Amino acid sequence: MQFLTILGSTGSIGTSTLDVVARHPDKYRVTALTAHRQVDLLFRQCIQFKPSYAVLLDEDAAARLRAMLTDAGSKTEVLCGIESLESVSVLPEVDAVMAAIVGAAGLRPTLAAAHAGKKILLANKETLVMAGNVFMDAVRAGGAVLLPIDSEHNAIFQSLPRGYNGDMASSGVRRILLTASGGPFRTLPLSALQQVTPDQACAHPNWVMGRKISVDSASMMNKGLEVIEAHWLFNAPACDIQVVVHPQSVIHSLVEYIDGSVIAQLGNPDMRTPIAYGLAYPERIDSGVAGLDLFKIGSLDFAEPDFARFPCLALAYQALRSGGTAPAILNAANEIGVAAFLDNQISFLSIAQVIGSVLDGLPVQPVNCLEDVLAADAEARRAAMQWLGVHK
C-alpha cells in the first residue's frame, strides 16, 4: 500500500491521478489533498477518498470547506497556507507526492518533498524551470525518487536505458526528440494571431488541460518549459534536445541512439497513462486508457517548429542557454503575460513581447539557493507588471 499526497488535486492532473487511484484501492491510499480555492470539488474528493488532511491556500475557502466537512461528519482536517502544503508533503506516513500544482506555488512543497526523500511524481514544470539545479541537488541529497509525469518526459524516461545515469555518451544516446502538437494555432495564418481570443487559445486539439497550460501550449511556451525540464531531468544540453511538431500527439517523445536506433513511446493522449506508470513504477497497472488503434490513426506527421510563429519557444531556448536565473525570469514573465491575456488585457502576441522585454532588461544571476530563485521571480514579475502598465 502506497500513501499519497496529491498537490493540486482539483486540477486536470490531480483529478486524473484520483481516477487511477480509485481503480486500485488495494494499492493506494490518499493521505492529503490540496487545492487553491476550488472548495466544492475538493469537498467531493474528500468525501470519496477520506484523506487525513485537506489544504487550501485561500483562508476563506478553507473555512468554508471545514464547515462543509464538519456538517458531513468527515474526519478530514482542513489546513491553510503554503506552510501546510509543505507539511503534508513531508509527512512520515506519505510514500509518494504527486506534484501537480500549476505555477510557482508548487515550488516550495515539491522541494520539501525532495529534501524528505519522497517518491516525487513531478507534473509541476516550474520546479525544474525555476530552480533546476537546486531541486536536483535536493533530490540527490534527500535520496528522493524522481519520476516525470509530463507525457513527453515520461515517454523519454521510458525510452532511455533502464538505470540511465545522466551520461548520454556512455549510454549511447545521441539526442532527445521532444514532440509537440503545435497547439490550436499551428496552421493559423500569422496575420490572424493578433486577434485570437483566450477561448480559442484554450481549445487544444488533443489534450484537456487548464487554461494557463492551454495558453502555454498555444504559444509553445509549454514546449519551451519542457525543453528546460528535459535538460535537468536527463542532463542533456540544449543542442541535444530537438522539438518535433507532431500534430496527432500519438508519439509522446523519442530517444535517438548513436547506432541509428530511435525508440519512441506511443499511446492515446491521456494523462492517466504516465500517471499510472509513475504510481506503479517499475511495474505497470491499468490506467483506464483505451488501447491505441493504429489502423484508426492511419498516418503520423512531423515538422520542424516555426520559431517565427512561436517566439516563446525561441525565448525558452535562449533562457536555457543563458542559465542562472534566466529560466526563472522567463517563467515569471510568462505567468504575468498569460494572466493578462486571459484577462483580455493584452493580445496573444504580446505574451512573447513582455517575456522578451523582461529577459532583455534584467541581469542574469547565478543560482546557489532557493532564495536566489525567488528573488529573480519577484523581480521579473515586477518588471512584467511595469511593462503591462506601459503597453496595455
pLDDT truncated to tens, each residue of the chain (392 aa)? Answer: 999 999 999 998 999 999 999 999 999 999 999 998 889 999 999 999 999 999 999 899 999 999 999 999 999 999 999 999 999 999 999 999 999 987 777 889 999 999 999 999 999 888 899 999 999 999 999 999 999 999 999 999 999 998 898 999 999 999 999 999 888 888 888 888 888 888 887 876 665 667 888 889 899 999 999 999 999 999 999 999 999 999 988 999 999 999 999 999 999 989 999 999 999 999 999 999 999 999 999 999 999 999 988 999 999 999 999 999 999 999 999 999 999 999 999 999 999 999 999 999 999 999 999 899 999 999 999 999 999 987 76
- Run of H or E including 338: helix 326-342
Rounded CA gap, 344 and 170, in Å? 50
For 86-140, the pLDDT digits (tens) are 999 999 999 999 999 877 778 899 999 999 999 999 998 888 999 999 999 999 9
The three cell numbers locating residue 21: 487511484
Q: What was the pLDDT predicted at 204?
A: 64
323-392 shares the fold of 2-148: no
How many Å apart are CA 381 and CA 392, to the nearest integer?
A: 16
Q: What pLDDT, on a 0 to 100 scale, did the predictor assign at position 240? A: 97
The verdict on domain 323-392 having CATH code 1.10.1740.10 is: yes
Q: Please state the φ and ψ torsions of residue 80, each to the nearest 5 degrees.
A: -145, 140
Contact 138, 159 (CB under 8 A): no
Q: Are the beta carbons of 330 and 359 closer than 8 angstroms? A: yes
- Give this prediction's pTM: 0.91
CA dihedral 322, 323, 327, 333 (to 10 degrees): -40
304, with CB counted inside 10 A (0-12, 13-18, 19+), is exposed
pLDDT at 392: 61
- The reported pLDDT for the residue numbered 178 is 97
The CA angle 228-154-163, to the nearest 5 degrees, is: 95
Cβ–Cβ under 8 Å, residues 20 and 121: no
Amino acid found at 27: K
Domain definitions of the chain by residue range: 2-148, 151-268+293-307, 323-392
Using the structure block, give the residue that is written with the C-alpha cell 545515469: 165
Q: Dump strand ranges (E) for the chain.
A: 2-7, 28-35, 53-56, 77-80, 96-99, 119-122, 145-148, 173-180, 241-245, 251-257, 262-266
| CATH for 2-148 (3.40.50.720, 3.40.50.920, 3.40.50.10490, 3.30.70.270) | 3.40.50.720
The alpha carbon dihedral of 232, 238, 240, 245 has a sign of positive
